[in-house]
Structures are given as structure tokens and as C-alpha cells.
Amino acid sequence: MAKKYTVDELNGLSKESMMVVILSMQEQLEQLNQNMERLIEQIAVANNQRYGRSSEKLEVMDGQLNLDFIFNEAEALTETLYVVEPAEDDVLPAKKKKQVGKRDKDLAGLPVVEIPHVLSEEELTEIFGVNGWKQLPDEVYKRVKVEPAVYTVEEHHVAVYAGRDNQTIVKADRL
């Protein structure tokens, strides 16, 4: 391993010393390039031996099935027998449609806690102006809240407001 020079040491070297250092670095660089080319060649040879055509020419080993026999047998059977293909309805199962109201049925026996989400009069006045709004029916969604050994359905009522001009619709913030 060659000596490592600092910036101050390089600044203090004479022209002849710098030439010697640069020439030695060129020799090291050439050796590194040759080593790298040899390694690339060795890797290529190893990959060729491992994955090349010669690896595909294996003879049948004991205990292993011969694929040629299997494929030839299948061809022989199809040539001698006429196979009736089943209908598409027999092969593919029918798609099940979602039942309407199934979620409501599943949640019917659980206790319900209603959680309102509304905007204050000040917020509505700021958005729409004085008496510039009307309340539409609430948007209702349900979430199942799971606590250990207790299931509770939270029914969120989100207030929906519309301007009298029917151009702007605002929903209350959700938690």
C-alpha cells in the first residue's frame, strides 16, 4: 500500500517527486484494471458453467420423472380419445352479488351511540352570510368501535349545509 499524502505534503513536493508519485499511481491503476478484467472474465466463465447450455443436458437420474414420457403420454391420450370440454358455467363459479342491507342487519343488535357533527351559527354566517344557508339532511355513516369484550356502533351524523343559491355545499368537520 502506498503512502497517503496530505494536501500540505503535496504542496511541498518538488516537480520530480510529483512525477514519481503520479507514475506510481498510473502503474497501480493499470494493475487494478487488469485485476478487474480478470475477475469479470472469471465471473463470466463461472456463470456459463453454472447456467450455460451444458447444465441443461442432464441425463435422467434415478428417482426422477422423465418429462418426455409425461408429455408424450398426454399427446397420445388426446390423439386417441375425444375429450368434451365442460361448459363455461360448469367451470366458473357464479359471482355472488352483495346483499342489500347486510351491514345494517349485522350491526342491528349492537348498542348505538349517536355522535353529531355540526357547524356553529358563527361559522355558517362566516361562510354563507346572514340567513344565506339552509340545512340539508345529515350524511350518516357507521363505524364499529371495538373495546375489549364490547362492541359499540358509533353513528356519526354529519350536518350538511347549502347556500340559498344552491351553489355551495358545506359539511361539518368529522372527528
How far apart CA 103 and CA 153 sit, in angstroms, is 12
Q: Exposed, middle or buried, 39 (CB in 10 Å: 0-12/13-18/19+)?
A: exposed
Give the DSSP per-residue string, 40-73: HHHHHHHHHHHHSGGGG-PPPPTT---HHHHHHH
Q: What does the pLDDT look like over 27-67, one tens digit per residue?
A: 999 999 999 999 999 999 898 888 877 655 556 556 665 55
Output the pTM of the full model.
0.35
What pLDDT score was predicted for residue 153?
87
CA 21 to chain centre: 53
What pLDDT score was predicted for residue 1?
58
What pLDDT score was predicted for residue 16?
92
What pLDDT score was predicted for residue 163?
87
What pLDDT score was predicted for residue 174?
81
